[in-house]
Amino acid sequence: MGQQPQIYLAQSSAKAKGAPVSVGDTVDMSRVQVVDQPEVYGLGIAPAGNIYAIVGDLLVRMNPETGKVLSILRQVD
């Protein structure tokens, strides 16, 4: 039998490093800085119904209506 691949979840690793949010968290929109120019971060237009935002020191994709964090893209300075 071969080795089982290890699976790492963004939510688990983010919490382990003390990140301000994890995937699935709901964030108060007053805590986020909406990214109006995604190209500055090497991103294209966000998928329909999503926005890119900075929460703490993380660049995330989220639903602006619910405040739910859909993915954590990377840390930003």
> For residue range 27-68, what is the model confidence (pLDDT) as tens digits?
999 989 999 999 999 999 999 999 999 999 999 999 999 999
Which helix (H) or strand (E) covers residue 33, if one does? strand 32-34
pLDDT band with cut points at 50, 70 and 90 for residue 1: low
Q: How far apart (Å, rounded) are the C-alpha atoms in residues 14 and 36?
A: 24
Task: List helix spans (H) across 1-77.
Answer: 10-16
Q: What pLDDT shows up at residue 16? A: 43
Residue 55, pLDDT score:
95
Report the predicted TM-score, pTM, of the whole model to 2 decimal places. 0.75
- pLDDT greater than 70 at residue 2: no
CATH 1.10.3470 fits 10-75, yes or no: no
